[in-house]
């Protein structure tokens, strides 16, 4: 009996090794999978650097931006982005979706507070957050003031709500989450055996989330200093991934009137 169990264990071990070897050859080393890994690293790094640029440039008006919740959230956002990249590289997707929800909710609520309590001390803002911002809803987004036209403003707020509520399916036990897991299992997609398409799908979700979050950070930073960043930095970096972001592209258009931009060869946007 012991020999039988030992033989069975060896066979299972060999089957797993064969499966991992085949997965490494067919998926991990494939061009599409490697491209998605590089894309994940590239847009994650660009998001981190953008947050750092906003935070650093805020020191030009330190007495003002020391009181901004959105500026104070910089380290928290960067930690999340670094963690999300590592999670995805290791095939951990649902935790990533939960973290995006947190980042989105935090940025929305901090920005609303910064706008509603503009010029107030940080202590006043944190109390306003506690007293007047609902804990378990994203509907506060409707109180946000954006520089967009009416149509884009509505699209932006609707997309924030859509992304938030879809992510809630991964925060609380849900039918959607179970159905998705069962479907993945039926296709042989387990942790550590994700497909290139699976990685591409989560990359799209993250990029969409970062585009929205960075847009809100720029809105909070204000158009004057944000314009300087776009003209002096991002207009000179054609490989900045967020030139293709839906809402950062719209935000960037606000600076098309600037003479400095008009003199330059325009980026493809």
Q: Could you read off the pLDDT of 213-238 as tens digits, one per residue?
A: 999 999 999 999 999 999 999 999 99
Predicted pLDDT of residue 27: 62
Query: Could you tell me the CA-to-CA distances from 131 to 72, 89, 127, 140, 143 in Å, in that order?
Result: 19, 39, 6, 13, 15
The reported pTM is 0.86
Predicted pLDDT of residue 269: 45
Distance in angstroms between the alpha carbons of the first and the last residue of the chain: 69
* 194 φ/ψ sector (left φ>0, alpha ψ -120 to 50, else beta): beta
- Per-residue pLDDT at 126 exceeds 70: yes
Predicted pLDDT of residue 239: 95
- Per-residue pLDDT at 26 exceeds 60: no
Burial class (CB in 10 A: 0-12, 13-18, 19+), 58: buried
């Amino acid at each position: 009996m012991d020999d039988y169990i030992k033989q069975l264990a060896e066979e299972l071990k060999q089957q797993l090794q064969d499966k991992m070897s085949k997965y490494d050859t067919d998926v991990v080393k494939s061009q599409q999978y490697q491209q998605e890994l590089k894309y994940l690293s590239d847009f994650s790094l660009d998001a981190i650097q953008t947050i750092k640029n906003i935070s650093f440039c805020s020191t030009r008006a330190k007495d003002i931006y020391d009181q901004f919740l959105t500026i104070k959230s910089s380290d928290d956002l960067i930690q999340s982005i670094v963690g999300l990249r590592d999670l995805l590289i290791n095939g951990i997707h649902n935790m990533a979706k939960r973290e995006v929800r947190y980042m989105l909710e935090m940025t929305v609520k901090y920005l609303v507070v910064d706008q509603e309590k503009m010029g107030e001390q940080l202590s006043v803002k944190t109390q306003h957050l506690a007293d007047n911002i609902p804990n378990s809803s994203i509907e506060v987004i409707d109180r946000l003031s954006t520089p967009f036209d009416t149509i884009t403003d509505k699209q932006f707020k609707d997309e924030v709500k859509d992304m938030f509520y879809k992510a809630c399916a991964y925060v609380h036990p849900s039918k959607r989450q179970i159905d998705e897991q069962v479907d993945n299992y039926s296709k042989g997609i387990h942790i550590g055996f994700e497909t290139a398409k699976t990685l591409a799908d989560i990359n799209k979700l993250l990029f969409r989330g970062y585009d929205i979050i960075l847009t809100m950070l720029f809105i909070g930073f204000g158009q004057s200093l944000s314009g300087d960043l776009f003209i002096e930095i991002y207009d000179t970096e054609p490989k900045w991934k967020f030139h293709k972001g839906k809402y950062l592209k719209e935000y960037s258009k606000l600076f098309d009137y600037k003479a400095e931009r008009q003199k330059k060869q325009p980026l493809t946007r």
